[in-house]
């Protein structure tokens, strides 16, 4: 939308809502040098589902009161699993400012397109990493097509990045793909086992059990929430909601929020 739009020669500003803290939020809404005060930019709010619901009215007021949508192009994206609806506050937000909603299908429902998607991304990785990988062995591609990709494009990119970094031949071998996807499955099974073990303690509420499992998984991944979500087989949206709902069980997360 940006590259083929009329503002392609103007700045593209990325606002990752998952990484926003109070300081960066105050800068965005109140600083004279904020990208919201510019004209002609494209501002992309990524991971909008991670924005605390209380901040949505503040952003909506900034958009409405300053005529922001007439000065810049606004793009928003949120990640939801197949079984989860778009959060209600996002639906209300988009309705207030008249957003055009585009729903993109999950990767598992586009398995026939995986060969072309993998080839395109591999070409990009070749350029970024200085590699000269020609493609995938037939068995390797079939394994990629058959995998269920519980974490969609985030997991897909992670797997291809790992393959591109570790491949030492002209083609990505099926054995390497099989080993990496098996590792992904083991991580998911390990997370499921952790859930089962935590659930064995019947003296705790389900909320406490889920919070404990998520906390352990995030810690095991050195604070990397995307990796933790991938290991648990849930979306980053689900993980983020659980963590926000149980801040009282996460002293370190509460400190970050404060």
CATH architecture of 201-258: Orthogonal Bundle (1.10)
Threshold 0.75, pTM exceeds: no
For the chain, the domains span 12-97, 107-187, 201-258
Query: Whole-angstrom Cα distance, residue 167 to residue 181?
Result: 15
Q: What is the pLDDT along the chain (258 residues), one digit of tens a residue?
A: 899 989 999 999 999 888 888 899 999 998 989 999 989 999 999 888 888 888 999 999 999 888 899 999 999 988 776 667 777 888 888 888 888 888 888 888 888 999 999 999 999 999 999 999 999 999 999 999 999 887 788 889 999 999 999 999 999 999 999 999 998 887 766 655 555 555 555 566 667 777 777 777 777 776 777 777 777 777 777 777 777 766 554 455 445 544
Query: Whole-angstrom Cα distance, residue 187 to residue 228?
Result: 10
Pick the CATH number of 107-187 from 1.10.8.60, 3.40.50.720, 1.10.1050.10, 3.90.1640.10: 1.10.8.60
């Amino acid at each position: 939308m940006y590259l083929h739009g009329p503002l392609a020669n103007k700045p593209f500003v990325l606002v990752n809502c998952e990484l926003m803290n109070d300081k960066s939020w105050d800068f965005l809404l109140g600083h004279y040098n904020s990208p919201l005060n510019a004209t002609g930019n494209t501002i992309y709010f990524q991971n909008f589902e991670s924005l605390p619901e209380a901040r949505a009215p503040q952003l909506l007021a900034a958009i409405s009161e300053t005529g922001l949508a007439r000065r810049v192009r606004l793009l928003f994206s949120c990640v939801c699993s197949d079984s989860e609806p778009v959060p209600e506050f996002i639906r209300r937000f988009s309705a207030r400012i008249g957003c055009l909603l585009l729903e993109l299908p999950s990767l598992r429902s586009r398995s026939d397109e995986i060969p072309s998607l993998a080839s395109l991304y591999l070409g990009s990785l070749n350029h970024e990493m200085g590699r000269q990988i020609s493609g995938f062995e037939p068995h390797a591609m079939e394994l990629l097509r058959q995998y269920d990709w519980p974490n969609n494009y985030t997991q897909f990119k992670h797997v291809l990045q790992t393959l591109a970094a570790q491949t030492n031949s002209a083609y990505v071998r099926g054995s390497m793909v099989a080993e990496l996807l098996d590792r992904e499955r083991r991580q998911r099974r390990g997370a499921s086992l952790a859930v089962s073990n935590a659930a064995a303690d019947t003296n705790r509420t389900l909320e406490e059990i889920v919070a404990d499992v998520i906390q352990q998984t995030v810690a095991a991944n050195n604070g990397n929430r995307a990796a933790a979500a991938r290991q648990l087989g849930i979306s980053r949206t689900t993980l983020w909601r659980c963590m926000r709902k149980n801040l009282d069980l996460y002293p370190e997360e509460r400190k970050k929020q404060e």
